[in-house]
Amino acid sequence: MSPNRTLATTARVLKQLSHDPRSIVLLLVAPSLLVGLFAWLFDTQPGVFDRYGGPLLALFPFILMFVITSITTLRERRSGTLERLMSTTMNKPDFIIGYGVAFGFMATLQAVVTVTFAVVLCGLSVEGPVWQLGLVAVVDAILGTALGLFASAFARTEFQAVQFMPLFVFPQIILGGLFMPREDMPDALETISDWLPLSYAIDAINAVTAGDSGADLFIPLGVVGAFALAALVLASLTLRRKTP
Amino acid sequence: MGLQSAQSPGHPDRSALTSGRESAFHPVECQVTWWDNGSMASVSGNAAQGHDSPAVTIRDLFIRRGRTVVFDGLSLQIPRGQITGLLGPSGCGKTTLMRAVVGVQKIHGGTVEVLGEPAGARALRSLVAYDTQTASVYDDLTVRQNLNYFARIVGADREATERVAHEVGMTSNLRSLVANLSGGQRSRVSLAVALLGDPELIVLDEPTVGLDPTLRQELWMLFRSLAQRGITVLVTSHVMDEALHCDRLLLMREGKIIADTTPTGLLKDTGTTNPDAAFLELIARSEQRLEPGHGKHAAQQESS
C-alpha cells in the first residue's frame, strides 16, 4: 500500500466531482429536501417526525452513496482506466481506500448539512449530542460506499448497477426496524434482520435520538463499521489484474 | 521500390536495420518468413542493438474468450529497441495479444515472457506501459489533471506531465476537459499517459486511429525517437499503410501470425507495391498452404 497513490486517487475522485457542480449540489442538498418533506408531512402529528426523522438520517447517506459509488466505479471499470491502473504498480487497496476516503469526505459534508437541517430547521429532537448523529450518518455513508464498490463488480452496465439498489438496499430498509420493531418480526425475518448492516445503523441512530450512549450506541455503530470494512475487503478482492 | 526509397531519407537508421534483418532471413526460403521453429531460431540469433534476449517471447499461447478460441498455440518473439507492428484486420486477436503481453489477459495455456519475467509480473508493472484501444483517461478531468494523476501513480515527476503533453502535441490543451476534446485528441492524451514514467516496453493498441495524416506522421516520428532511445515499441494497427513505419512486422489473421517480416521484405517478397496488396497476397498464400495439394506448388512460386 502506498499513501501517496491512495491520496492521489482520493484527490482525483474529488477533482472529478468538482467538474460536476450539479452532482455536488444534489449530493449535499437532496437529503435535506427529503427530510424537510417528511417533516412537513407530519407537521400536524407531533412525535412522528421525532420517531422517524432519525432513521431517515441513516438511510439517505447510505442509499445515495451506494448508488453514486457503484456507478462511478462501474464507469471506471468500463472506461478502461481501471485496467490501465491495474497494469501499473498501483495496489488494489490504494484504489479502494482512495475511493472510500473521497466519498467518505463527501459523506461527511452531506451529514453535516443534513443533520443541521433536520435539527435546526425541522426541529428534530435529539436527546444525545448532535455530533453523534453526524457520526452515525458518516459511518452509514461509508457503508453505502463500501457496498457500492462491492456491488459494482457484479454489474456490466449502468442500468444493472441501478437495479442493484433495490436488491442490496430495499430489503435492508424493510427489515431494518423502521416499519416494525425488529423484535416484533417473524422469527425468520428477525434472524435475517440481525445479519443486515442497516439494522444496526438504525439501532445506532435510535440510540442517539433516545439519548442512550455507551454500548447502546457504539456496539451497533461498530457492527456497521465492521460490515463496511468487510465490504471494502470484498470489493478489493473483486478487482482483477487479469480478466478473461 | 518507390515506397522504400521515398521513406529511407526520413529514417537514416532504417536501411541499416533492414539489411541486418534481411540477411538473417536468407537461410529461409523467402523474405516473408512463415512462422515455424526454424525462423524462431533465426530471430533469436539476431537480437538487436546489443540486447541478448528478445523483449517478448510467446510460446504455445492458448487463449479463449467465452467459447471462442482466440489463439491456439501461438508463438512469436518481439525484438528489443525496435518498432514492431502487429497488423491485421479487426477482430483477428491483436488486442487480446496486446493484453496478454501487458499481463491483463487471462491465458489458458503457454507462456508469455516479457523482459525476462512472466507477463504481468510485479517487477514489470513499472517497465511496461500500455495504451488501450479506447482512450483510457478520465473524461471529467482536464488533460493536466489526468496526466498529473497518472504521473503520481507511476511515480513520475511533475515535469513528466509537460514533457509527454509536448510529445503528443497537447501542450495548448492542458487546461481543457477531456470530455470536450475530439476523438483524436482524447486518444493522444491516452497515449501521453503511456509515455509517463520510464518504461522499457510501450504497448500501443491502435494509437493512430482517427488521426489526420500530419498527426499520424508526427506520432510515428515520436515512436521512432522512442525506439532510438532503446525503448521497445509494440504497435497495432488495422491500417496496412502504417506497416511501412515499423522495423518489424507481424501480420496476423484469425489468431495466427501469417508473416513475420520487415516492410521491405514484405513488399519485395509479395511482389507488390503497397502493404494492402501485400496482405491480400499473404492471405491468399496462407489459404493455399492450408490445402495440402497446393503447398508445394506455392513454395515453388515463392522461390522463383
State mean pLDDT over A138-162.
86
Contact between A242 and B136 using a beta-carbon 8 Å cutoff: no
State mean pLDDT over B37-64.
63
Yes or no: say if B273 and B267 are a contact pair by the CB < 8 Å rule: yes
Nearest CA in chain B to A15: B141
Q: Residue ranges per domain, chain A? A: 3-238
Render pLDDT for A65-118 as a digit per residue (tens, 0 to 9): 888 888 888 888 888 899 899 888 888 889 988 988 898 888 889 888 998 999
State mean pLDDT over B31-54.
46
Render pLDDT for A3-26 as a digit per residue (tens, 0 to 9): 899 999 999 999 999 998 998 898
CB contact, 8 Å: A2 with chain B? no
User: Which candidate in A17, A76, A84, A92 is best for mutational testing of the B interface (most B CBs within 10 A)?
Assistant: A84
Domains of chain B: 12-127+231-288 (3.40.50.300)
Q: Which of A131-145, B45-59, B162-176 has the highest mean pLDDT?
A: B162-176
Residues in A touching B141 (Cβ below 8 Å): 12, 15-16, 19
- What pLDDT is stored for residue B4 in this prediction? 40
Average pLDDT along chain B: 79
Q: Using the 8-state DSSP alphabet, how is residue B30 labeled?
A: S
- What pLDDT is stored for residue A67 in this prediction? 87
Work out the minimum CA distance from B25 to partner chain A, whole angstroms: 35
- Residues of A (6-25) whose Cβ lies below 8 Å from B: 8-9, 11-12, 15-16, 19-20
Nearest Cα to B173, choosing from B135, B133, B145?
Answer: B145
Above 90 in pLDDT, residue B203?
yes
Nearest CA in chain A to B137: A81
CB contact, 8 Å: A156 with chain B? no
Which region holds residue B57: left if phi is over 0, alpha if psi is between -120 and 50, else beta?
beta
Place of cell 426523522: A53
Q: Which of A16, A80, A244 sits opposite B140 (nearest CB)?
A: A16
Burial (0-12, 13-18, 19+ Cβ within 10 Å), B199: buried
B58 has which bridge partners?
Answer: B76, B112
- What pLDDT is stored for residue A241 in this prediction? 84
Rounded Cα–Cα distance for residues A124 and A53 (Å): 7
Average pLDDT along chain A: 88
Q: Which of A53-62, B3-12, B38-47 has the highest mean pLDDT?
A: A53-62
Residues in A touching B102 (Cβ below 8 Å): 87
State mean pLDDT over B215-223.
89
Work out the minimum CA distance from A102 to partner chain B, whole angstroms: 15
- What pLDDT is stored for residue B34 in this prediction? 43
Q: Using the 8-state DSSP alphabet, how is residue B232 labeled?
A: E
Residues in A touching B125 (Cβ below 8 Å): 87-89
- What pLDDT is stored for residue A63 in this prediction? 87
Above 70 in pLDDT, residue A64?
yes
- What pLDDT is stored for residue A89 in this prediction? 86
**pLDDT band at B52, cuts 50/70/90?**
low
- What pLDDT is stored for residue B11 in this prediction? 42
Rounded Cα–Cα distance for residues A117 and A120 (Å): 5
What residues of B are in the A interface, CB distance below 8 Å? 65-66, 102-106, 120, 122, 125-126, 128, 130, 132, 134-141, 145, 149-150, 152-155, 177, 193
- What pLDDT is stored for residue B209 in this prediction? 82
Yes or no: say if B200 and B127 are a contact pair by the CB < 8 Å rule: yes
**pLDDT band at B290, cuts 50/70/90?**
low
Q: What are the φ and ψ backbone dihedral angles of B66, each rounded to 5 degrees?
A: 65, -125
State mean pLDDT over A218-236.
91
Q: State what percent of residues in chain B have pLDDT above 70.
A: 78
- What pLDDT is stored for residue B292 in this prediction? 55
Please name the residue ranges forming H helices in chain B.
2-7, 12-25, 37-44, 94-102, 143-154, 158-167, 183-195, 213-228, 263-270, 275-290, 292-303
Q: State what percent of residues in chain A have pLDDT above 90.
A: 20
